[in-house]
Structure 1
Amino acid sequence: MKKEKRYYQIRIDYFWLSILAVIIVISIIIAYYASAHEQTSSQLVSTKHRADIDVTFDDLRSSLENTSECYLCGNAEESLMSYFRNFDTIGLISLNDWYVIDFPLKNYDENGNEVESATSTSFLSGNTGEISYSSDGTPSRGMASIDVTLLENYEIDTNMLEDHLCQNCLSKVAASLEYRKTDGENKEAIPLCIVDFKTLEIYSLQDYWRAYFVRDYYVEMDFDDNIVRTEVFYLPERI
């Protein structure tokens, strides 16, 4: 027996509602994927825009003719390094005016000889026009600190360094000034460094450092806006 074909009728309004629903669903799917693609592209552009940049000072060249007048290794009257080189400790240098501050970790006489003394704490503060600072230390405990507040919108005075440092010392200071910033970020090199009075080696005080050893001295750093805080501990190796 031959089967009869069956036909189903749909009301015209239901038909068009179904078509409209399908169109809406497809539109939502397209909009979702378009938004996801745009967000991914935006993240890629943002990542590319925020790439890290290493800033260096390799192009600095000394213009100092008389190297014996070098502020670091020489005997220039304007620098206190010829005095501090008598001490077997470390210090901090404000590079824009070459103001040297020692960490009071040991007691010395006028000839640079270390002397024993009763427990005492020293405190010193001042303002050089480039920085304001405060330092304190307890030599008997081998601990000291220096807090430095920098001027607003500070910048490193490279001309001063080129005029008063020999090329060897200038290269060491320049290496300590290297820093990293994000592309488009308004950031400058911090015009400070740590100096070893015995070896005349220079160590960075840029904000990507948090701690390191300088011979037997452990240095910790903290940064808050224009304030640089350094703590130093004398930690000789036990024999």
Structure 2
Amino acid sequence: MSVALAIDDLCLAYQDRAEVLTDLSLRIASGERVALVGPNGAGKSSLFLAIAGILKPVSGRINLFGNEVKPGAFHPDVGLIFQQADDQLFCPTVEDDVAFGPRNLGLDADAVAERVASSLAVVGASELAQRPVHHLSGGEKRIVCIAGALALQPRLLLCDEPTSGLDLRNRRCLIRLLQSAQQAMLIASHDLEFLLEVCDRALLLDAGRMVANGQVAAVFGDVALMEAHGQERPHSLHPHHVRHHQHPRSDA
């Protein structure tokens, strides 16, 4: 299987802070879905910004599908769903916002319109196309952010807290969408039950360093590891987990 993302010895820092990531190396294969977990401030969002070419590394290399990521350049192979929807949405209407990426790919008007329509349809938001962005609810903004990333038709999807603000119905729709998608994915979330359903592998970051890399249920089910790094084992992995909504059989 080909490598979608290759990171070697990556260090990231901001001017007013110490390093937020230190000597990080990882590989993600094409089509692989990888969970990224860790406490607040572990460096997850900063890693996404570096992969997308927004944040310049102090040192190290990032390669996407064999091409080195250049800070400040447009990288159409990457679709980034920001942690805060308002950081991503800036056009007057939903349609304009979802169209922004395809237009920057140099597509003609018909191709842009087709991508906008198909991306909104796949997330169940076609009826929002003409809505002003500032009239959307938090959950609607999150859905539009997902549509905007999908409109690029990226080969790597970076999702930063994608379930934030979603109701149960839209959360379930997102799970089905990501399960059926063909892109490689790196998904940061505190919603570990969601990650268990979507991802194959999990990376655990703490204080800017990777402390675990393994099969998602194995990492999440390691109580000592998770607690040592400010996480909790998901309820569904608890040995005494009892499925909700199971009722005793009635003999009546």
Higher helix fraction (1 or 2):
2
TM tier relative to shorter chain: under 0.3
Q: Greater relative contact order (Cα 8 A, min sep 6): structure 1 or 2?
A: 2
Q: Structure 2 length as normaliser, TM-score? A: 0.23
* Structure of larger gyration radius: 1
Q: Structure 1 length as normaliser, TM-score? A: 0.24
